[in-house]
Amino acid sequence: MTTVPPVLDVRDLTVDVRAAHGPVRLLHGVSLQLRRGERVALVGESGSGKSVFARSLIRLDDAMTVGGSVQFDGADLVTASERRLREVRGQGIGLVFQDPLSSLDPVKRIGDQVMEPLVIRGVPKREARERARDVLDRLGVPNAARRMDAYPHEFSGGMRQRVCLAMAIVAEPAVLIADEPTTALDVRVQEQVMQLIEEISADGGPAVLLITHDLGLVAGFAHRVAVMYAGRLIEVAGVDDLYADPRHPYTRGLLDSVPRIDLHEGDLTAIPGTPASPFHPVGGCPFHPRCAAALEHCAHEEPLLTVLPSPMPFHDRQVACHRAGEIVHGRTA
Amino acid sequence: MSVDQRVATYAAKRALACAFIVWGIATLVFLMIKAIPGDEAQSAAGITATPAQVEQVRHRLGLDHSLPVQYVDYLGRLAHGDLGTSIVSFRPVREELTERIPASVELVGSAMLLDVLVGVPLGMLAAARFRRTTDNVVRWVAILASAVPLFWLGLMLQSFVGLKLDLLPLSGSQTIGKESPRVTGMATVDALLAGNLSGFGDAVAHLVLPAVTLSIPFIGFVSRITRSSIVGTLQSDFASVVRAKGASESRIVVRHALPNSLGPIVTFAALQFGWMFSATVLVESIFGRPGVGSYLADSVTQKDTFAVLGLVLFIGTVVAVASAVADMIQLLVDPRIRAAQVGAPA
Amino acid sequence: MTDLLQRPERLRIRPRVRRRTARRRMTWSELATYGAVLVLLVLAVVGPWIAPHDPYLVDQRNTLLAPSGEHWLGTDGTGRDLFSRLLAGARPSIIGAVVTVLAAATIGVVVAAIAATAGRVVDGIVMRICEVVLSLPVMMTGLGLAVALGPSQKSAVIALILASWPSFARLARSEIRRVMVSPHVEAAQVLGVSRWRLLTKHVLPNSLDTVYVKAAMDVGGVIVIISSLSFIGAGAQAPSAEWGAMVESGSRFLNNAWWVTGAPGLAILVTSAAFSLAGDALRARLDPMLSSSLGEAPR
Ligand SMILES: Nc1ncnc2c1ncn2[C@@H]1O[C@H](COP(=O)(O)OP(=O)(O)O)[C@@H](O)[C@H]1O
Ligand SMILES: [Mg+2]
């Protein structure tokens, strides 16, 4: 968009895990940039590698081998020391996970858990407590000062997720990654939590990467959308472009499976076939076994993520499909 | 109902369950008495008894009644604290037992202190080095430690540390002439109460070898329980959240995994009190400590069957109570269990 | 929304270990522990025959000899060859423990099968009995019973069987109940397969893995308990070469011939540890999930 460098610049990120028969690649060279104030959604079916992406940015799992580069705050997190990484975790990049109940230590008081990112960094207890209370207040936890002495099991699902959000932002990170933050919540609470995340990111808040499998959440929230399939980004576009004109057949499939008020149940289309698994890789385009538009060529050569020129300025978008040029609105012309 | 009331209700239920167990153990011991081959009255009166004496004992123990009546009588005697009578000394088992309890409690207490102090850090270390060399070494040590025959370990320590190196006293609970007036019956505590420092040092020195012996197999158990519980926590979702906050691995272990493992560890420690109490039978007589265990061992040697069974019943009761206490402690240390058992935070 | 996209997921931090039975290659440490157990079992059978001296031959002129070429481990307080006694003692010590565990496991499984199929009342009573017996340390039940029956090796084994079947019954019962509600057993039930057939052909074969593991794990502990009972005097009696009894009789010469006590105790320790390690390895093989909580990493 501008020449301002992105706050988070991920290039060619690869992740491997050890398995019984040698290493298995979970991410195949993912590149994604996040700019200040930007809200990006990362979408894809369950198992496509979204969580692995989020976790490997700050190298949360030592069982995973991470390659490529993750530029953040002048350092490459892929090669950074454990010590530097600990500084970035929480204070540079905040993470919110899917299940708010299992995200909280069941035997520690809420207040202590929210304060923890500050306490770790030597902020005096009293000040940390105050800041934690402020954040909880801001996130709409009623009676925050008193509730800080309660335990997680005394909170409702929605309140717990607010607590998790508070833990992620209390140290004022530059990037907030929310991995399916509403999946475990009921619909009414989902909206509130999305609203909160939007408020957090407004005016000078962190850039947000929202991970979800629910395209319905994305429309009113994100500026840009990245679509992941089989550990690869297969389409990256501005949110309006993506909804109006999805170029990858997979994206199209995802959009078709979002329930819409104007359609009846029967009209929903699921993407046929089984989702790709990193443990059973296929040659060529990873989506070709499920793709209605697949040509013979697709089974042999993997399409690269390439920039599609756009008539409108700043609306460049990227697609990884051999037939992207021919496809309009996700269907072959 | 208030939280306190709910805790009280829970405690009452647990006490009832404990009473059931004790009744069950009593029944078991009654069956064991009935399993003694030959004439029970003859055995109870001792081999030297005259036929008239035997008949007298038969009448006193109600052995001329039917089995159900005998059972009820037996429970009735127990309810009055009658654990039977030694057929060697003809003293009531309870009398001698009461004198000896403090010495055993002193030994078991110090052994527990030892194995928690060693076993818990060992388990933490293994968990922090999960599946690496240290972990495997700790695992081997733990398995070896729990395979050690206590009585043999006691003898070996006595022979090498006590006899050969002459570092520590061989047996007894204090040196004659250094005793303090008996208040609690625990040599160390009595010495402290009397302000007798040299007596205290002496009593502690006498305690070291037996306590170390008793604690070794249990160190194996404690470290394994600690390890598996901490490993479980380190693999849970919230551990990764804490890591994402920027916490170091050692902070996660100490501040999060350990508190989460407190429940299992404390429960185990309380249960262990009962098990150690029964293991004193192997240790106390070796080190000549006048406790419950050496009383039991002596009774076995002297074929004092009724004393043995009375003591088995007593130790069984100690174990049952210890396990009830374990449950109550867990209620206090773990807010989750508190929530599950009594429905609200205490 | 489609179920493909809706599938709820939970974060997994470390790879879940899937059940991979038998296909994994044996590690050298597994081989070593199984090998050690095998050797010990063979010794327990042939021990008395390969002993260089008569393990019961008293020789008052050669008491408490130090280890030498003639007497590898020296002689005991009555001049009997210690090494030969150790070999002879392998039988009561090891076979005693193996028999105890096998019998306890068999009784436990049979009782569990009855409890799991006979209805609530029987099940409730059986479980209460188990609860009571298990609340007593095995050592105490064993001691009480063995003394009541009249102290001997046989009494000790019977006592320990009676003391330890409930732990197998409880385990087997929970496994049986777990398998009973599995789809293929329910399907068989619907098809009208008889109860007995259902139990023996479908339920038991699928529920005994953990019982085997427990049995293997328990042998090491029972070896120590049996020897403890003899040491106190509630098990094998005086001339017997049972290791616990040997420790006891050797303890009188602790200050001038420590090896008379040291050797049989070491034999107990090594044997018990070997069985425990083998049990642990077997568990790692049959149930990797369980093992990851206790030790041996399935690699
Ligand atoms: N620790 C791990 N070890 C091995 N495979 C893993 C691990 N974590 C995730 N995977 C695999 O990586 C793929 C992507 O998982 P994930 O990132 O959780 O998907 P999602 O997009 O639903 O968040 C899945 O096939 C999953 O099985
Ligand atoms: Mg995920």
Whether residue A48 has its Cβ less than 6 Å from ligand 1: yes
Mean pLDDT of chain B: 87
Taking the C-alpha atoms of residue B229 and residue B261, their distance in angstroms, rounded to an integer, is: 6
Residue B245: which of A145, A208, A119 has the closest Cα?
A119
Tokens coding C190 = 């619907």
DSSP β-bridge partners for residue A38: none
Taking the C-alpha atoms of residue A39 and residue C55, their distance in angstroms, rounded to an integer, is: 85
Name the residue with tokens 């990227």: A318
Q: Quick check: is B51 in a domain?
A: no
pLDDT score, position C299: 20
Least confidently predicted of A322-331, B77-86, C107-116, C209-218 = A322-331
Residue C264: which of C255, C251, C274 has the closest Cα?
C251
pLDDT score, position B333: 77
Question: What is the residue range of C231's domain?
Answer: 27-49+75-288
Taking only the tens place, the pLDDT of each residue in A185-202 is: 888 888 888 999 999 998
pLDDT score, position C14: 34
Q: Residue A165: CB partners within 8 Å, gap ≥ 6?
A: A96, A139, A178, A181, A193, A196, A197, A200
Q: Quick check: is B288 in a domain?
A: yes
Per DSSP, the residues of B272-287 read HHHHHHHHHHHHTTTT
Other CB atoms within 10 Å distance of the CB of residue C285:
18
pLDDT at C44 over 80: yes
CA atoms within 13 A of residue C156's CA, in its CB half-sphere: 28
Mutant choice from A116, A125, A155, A170 vs B, greatest count of B C-beta within 10 A:
A116
Pocket test for ligand 1, best of C7, C11, C12, C17 (most atoms within 8 A of CB): C12
Taking only the tens place, the pLDDT of each residue in C82-97 is: 888 888 888 888 999 9
Considering only CB atoms, C15 lies closest to which of A17, A97, A184, namely A17
Question: Average pLDDT in the B210-229 region?
Answer: 92
Taking the C-alpha atoms of residue B162 and residue B167, their distance in angstroms, rounded to an integer, is: 6
Tokens coding A151 = 């335990």
Tokens coding C272 = 């018990």
Question: Average pLDDT in the B278-303 region?
Answer: 92
Angle between helices B3-35 and B335-342 (to 10 degrees): 90
Which residue from C minimizes the CA distance to B162? Answer: C255
Q: Which chains touch A (3 or more CB pairs under 8 A)?
A: B, C
Other CB atoms within 10 Å distance of the CB of residue C172:
25
Q: How many CB pairs under 8 A join A and B?
A: 77
pLDDT score, position A332: 60
Mutant choice from C3, C4, C13, C20 vs A, greatest count of A C-beta within 10 A:
C4
pLDDT score, position A328: 60
Taking only the tens place, the pLDDT of each residue in C236-252 is: 887 888 899 999 988 88
Taking the C-alpha atoms of residue B247 and residue B259, their distance in angstroms, rounded to an integer, is: 16
Distance between alpha carbon B323 and the CA centroid of its chain, in Å? 10
Q: Quick check: is C299 in a domain?
A: no
CA distance readout (Å), C110 to B203, C126, C182: 52, 12, 21
Chain A neighbors of C4, CB-CB under 8 A: 45-46, 257, 270-271, 275
Q: Quick check: is C247 in a domain?
A: yes
**Do the chains contact at A106 and B238, CB–CB below 8 Å?**
yes
Residue A27: which of A51, A9, A7, A46 has the closest Cα?
A51
pLDDT at A313 over 70: no
Taking only the tens place, the pLDDT of each residue in C109-128 is: 999 998 888 888 999 999 99
Which residue from C minimizes the CA distance to A51? Answer: C11
Q: Quick check: is B101 in a domain?
A: yes
Q: Any idea what the CATH number is for the domain that residue B203 is in?
A: 1.10.3720.10
Q: Quick check: is B181 in a domain?
A: yes
First to last CA, chain A: 30
Taking only the tens place, the pLDDT of each residue in C58-68 is: 777 877 777 87
Name the residue with tokens 């003898």: B155
Contact yes or no for A77/A92 (Cβ under 8 A): no
Taking the C-alpha atoms of residue B247 and residue A112, their distance in angstroms, rounded to an integer, is: 13
What percent of chain B has a predicted confidence (pLDDT) above 90? 39
Q: pTM for this one?
A: 0.80
Q: Quick check: is C19 in a domain?
A: no
Taking only the tens place, the pLDDT of each residue in A140-153 is: 999 999 999 999 98
Residue C225: which of C263, C272, C178 has the closest Cα?
C272
What percent of chain A has a predicted confidence (pLDDT) above 70? 92
Pocket test for ligand 1, best of A51, A60, A183, A228 (most atoms within 8 A of CB): A51
Least confidently predicted of A151-155, B89-93, C164-168, C287-291 = C287-291
pLDDT at A93 over 90: yes
Tokens coding A41 = 């959604």
Q: Quick check: is B72 in a domain?
A: no
Helix (H, G, I), strand (E, B) or coil at A30: strand
Taking the C-alpha atoms of residue B249 and residue C241, their distance in angstroms, rounded to an integer, is: 52
Q: Quick check: is B62 in a domain?
A: no
Mean pLDDT of chain A: 89
Question: Average pLDDT in the C6-33 region?
Answer: 53
User: Which ipTM value was assigned to this complex?
Assistant: 0.89
Q: Residue A88: pLDDT band by 50, 70, 90 thresholds?
A: very high
Other CB atoms within 10 Å distance of the CB of residue C130:
21
Which residue from B minimizes the CA distance to A177? Answer: B244
Alpha helices (runs of H) in chain C, residue ranges in sequence order: 3-6, 28-50, 82-90, 96-117, 120-135, 138-149, 153-180, 183-190, 195-197, 204-207, 209-232, 243-250, 258-286, 288-294
pLDDT score, position B35: 84
Taking only the tens place, the pLDDT of each residue in B180-210 is: 888 888 888 888 888 888 889 899 999 999 9
Question: Average pLDDT in the C149-154 region?
Answer: 91
Residue B161 sits at the vertex; the CA angle it makes with B157 and B166, to the nearest 5 degrees, is 145
Contact yes or no for B313/B99 (Cβ under 8 A): no
Q: How many domains does chain B have?
A: 1
pLDDT score, position C24: 64
Residue of the nearest CA to atom 6 in ligand 1? C15
**Do the chains contact at C5 and A51, CB–CB below 8 Å?**
no
Contact yes or no for C233/C206 (Cβ under 8 A): no
Which residue from A minimizes the CA distance to B334? Answer: A107
Residue A29: which of A73, A70, A77, A74 has the closest Cα?
A70
Q: Quick check: is B84 in a domain?
A: no
Backbone angles phi, psi at A28, to 5 degrees: -115, 70
Taking the C-alpha atoms of residue A98 and residue A116, their distance in angstroms, rounded to an integer, is: 20
Q: In what order do the strands lie in the sheet with A232-238?
A: A93-96, A175-179, A207-212, A39-43, A224-229, A232-238, A317-319, A306-308
pLDDT at C297 over 50: no
Long-range contacts of C124-130 (CB under 8 A, 24+ apart): C126/C169, C126/C173, C127/C170, C127/C173, C128/B20, C128/B24, C129/B24, C129/C166, C130/C166, C130/C167, C130/C169, C130/C170
C11/B265: higher pLDDT: B265
Helix (H, G, I), strand (E, B) or coil at A8: strand
Q: Quick check: is C11 in a domain?
A: no
Q: Quick check: is C94 in a domain?
A: yes
pLDDT at B287 over 90: yes
Whether residue A26 has its Cβ less than 6 Å from ligand 1: yes
Q: Residue B124: pLDDT band by 50, 70, 90 thresholds?
A: very high
Question: What is the residue range of B280's domain?
Answer: 93-342
Per DSSP, the residues of A175-211 read EEEEESTTTTS-HHHHHHHHHHHHHHHTTT--EEEEE
Considering only CB atoms, C4 lies closest to which of A45, A216, A258, namely A45
pLDDT at C296 over 50: no
Any idea what DSSP says for residue C199?
I
Q: How many domains does chain C have?
A: 1
Taking only the tens place, the pLDDT of each residue in C194-239 is: 777 888 888 888 888 889 888 988 999 999 999 999 999 998 887 8
